Amino acid sequence: MSGLIARDKSRRRIHHHILRQSLRESEWKYLSSKIIDRLVMTEEFKSASSIHTYVSMKKKREVFTIDLINACLDSDKKVIVPKIKSEGILSHHQLSTLSSLSENKWGVMEPTSDIEVDLPDDLLVIVPMVAADFMRNRLGYGKGYYDRFLNSLSFTKIGLCYSMNMNWTPLPVDSFDIKMDKVISEQFIL
């Protein structure tokens, strides 16, 4: 990663984190519900029997995925959530109830079980992001967990992003950054 790109990404992350932190809880929940409503209406969501999703962090004002997880569980979709392993790798675990989550040392809710699951062929992956641009490039948290996870997979990848975190100018990207198949905000689907 070039120093210029890394500095630009870092600067943009700070900017977009500040924007998200400005959301009052009621705004955060409202915008998140609009985004999730758009997601569940997509053909990709309807046709997937298995959904891989992050568990949102309230303190970072990530698009709230708890309602999505509950909707999936209620409709008999298999829910798979990631767990951070050492060396920047994610493991993948089936979730049958929210009560089987606990907070890790970084404040991320993860499954308590260490039993990993194989990823099914019809998996839809819901990807966290700090920001996105209109070419479906994603600005993540800078650790590369999702880029490594998505690098060799052919699953459909949908990023969830508030409109205020959409960049009109292209985001800085490295060769290892993975582009989303769709980005969904409360106002539009790219």
Please report, for the domain that includes residue 61, its CATH number.
3.40.50.10420
* SS3 of the chain: helix, strand, coil, percent, to 5: 35, 25, 40
pTM reported for the whole predicted model: 0.93
Q: Give 122-168 pLDDT, tens digit per residue.
A: 899 999 999 999 999 999 998 889 999 998 788 999 999 999 999 99
When divided into structural domains, the chain yields a total of 1
Q: How far is CA 126 from CA 39, 53, 160, 165, in A?
A: 9, 5, 7, 17
Does residue 190 sit within a domain? no
Q: Which domain holds residue 84?
A: 3-184
Least confident of 115-124, 142-151, 174-183: 142-151
Does residue 189 sit within a domain? no
Say how many C-beta atoms besides its own lie within 10 A of residue 123's C-beta.
19
